[in-house]
Amino acid sequence: AQRVTQPEKLLSVFKGAPVELKCNYSYSGSPELFWYVQYSRQRLQLLLRHISRESIKGFTADLNKGETSFHLKKPFAQEEDSAMYYCALTPGGGNKLTFGTGTQLKVEL
């Protein structure tokens, strides 16, 4: 069975500082990895997916199969980045998501 681990429940950084939200996974096949974000009082929404290899709102994430990681990074945090971030996985070709426990990012001025 697949599993997604986000070791940090809360990450607090200052505005302008780099951000790295950690995500590790376990899955025997070739998974698809995602980052979802939930801003205060809003619904969960897709931030980025590894197959797109794109940067969204300045965030990037690289799938490292050797380390089974998919860390989310942004070089300069902004106040509006404060939100709950969930790493998620689906078996390749499917869309049944397994979520990590989430990391609350707080960007302080």
The residues near 50 (Cβ < 8 Å, ≥ 6 apart) are 32, 33, 34, 61, 62, 63, 70
The reply to whether 86 sits near other proteins by the rule CB under 8 A is yes
In angstroms, the CA 80 to CA 65 distance is 31
In angstroms, the CA 104 to CA 71 distance is 14
**Residue closer to other proteins (CB basis): 79 or 95:** 95
The reply to whether 100 sits near other proteins by the rule CB under 8 A is yes
In angstroms, the CA 27 to CA 39 distance is 28
The reply to whether 102 sits near other proteins by the rule CB under 8 A is yes
The reply to whether 43 sits near other proteins by the rule CB under 8 A is yes
CB of residue 24 to other proteins, shortest distance in Å: 14
User: With CB under 8 A as the contact rule, which of the stretches 11-19, 23-31, 75-83, 89-97 interacts with other proteins?
Assistant: 89-97
* Sites of contact with other proteins (CB under 8 A): 9, 42-46, 86, 95-102
